[in-house]
Amino acid sequence: MNIERVKELVRELLIEIGEDPNREGLLKTPERVAKAYDFLSHGYRTNVDEVVNDAVFQSEANNMIICRNIEVYSMCEHHMLPFFGKCHIGYIASNRVIGLSKLARLADCFARRLQIQERLTAEIARAVMDTVDAEGVGVVMECRHLCMMMRGVEKQNSVMTTSSVLGSFHDDQATRTEFLDLLARETV
């Protein structure tokens, strides 16, 4: 990302909305916004193989593995406003497992792009499936969208839930039910 170009664009935007970019409180705003967008969009400059970084291990495990309540922060591609919430990832290993922290990093890899929640959920599921050649994968996301909360219909308590199920999570009702039941339980 060209930080200098983004700074110029933010300065122009400030003028366009009726602000004075030379005002004391706004002097460093273009640079701050450019750096923020560089961070918030780093998913475009990240690939799954680098994120996983060989943290895939042989395992005899063929049971369900779930990581719950992974915080996610993304930007709505329609209004470029944040949405945020929780991501729950479950999978059944064939003979390989992924390092726990890598599940959170995979979620960030796709969340740090302009997104819609439906696609984000599916991209995370597909990445886990492909990375460990899982028997099945389930991803559930629950997010609040500022495009719905602070503009438009202004519904402060709305939460969007999406899911993506692949392999045995899709094909086997009992597996899908077990996953959803485990997500519904109280956490530690």
- For the chain, domain boundaries: 3-40, 54-184
Give the pLDDT of residue 117: 98
- Give the tokens for residue 160: 């969007």
Please tell me the distance from the alpha carbon of residue 141 to that of residue 118, in angstroms, as a whole number.
9
SS3 63: coil
pLDDT tens-digit readout, 141-187: 999 999 999 999 999 999 999 999 999 999 999 999 999 999 999 87
Please work out, in degrees rounded to the nearest 5, the angle formed at the alpha carbon of residue 178 by the alpha carbons of 177 and 184.
Answer: 90
Give the pLDDT of residue 40: 96
CATH topology of domain 3-40: GTP Cyclohydrolase I; Chain A, domain 1 (1.10.286)
Give the pLDDT of residue 60: 85
Q: Which long-range contacts (CB under 8 A, 24 or more apart) does 44-48 make?
A: 44/112, 44/113, 45/1, 46/109, 46/112, 47/109, 48/106, 48/109, 48/127, 48/130, 48/131
First to last CA, the chain: 41
Give the pLDDT of residue 109: 97
Helix and strand numbers, DSSP H then E, in the chain: 8, 7
CATH topology of domain 54-184: GTP Cyclohydrolase I, domain 2 (3.30.1130)
Cross-strand pairs, 76: 115
- Give the tokens for residue 147: 């495009």
Among 135, 134, 81, 137, residue whose Cα is nearest residue 107: 137
Give the pLDDT of residue 61: 77
Instruction: Give the predicted TM-score (pTM) of the model.
Output: 0.94
Q: Which residues of the chain have pLDDT under 70?
A: none
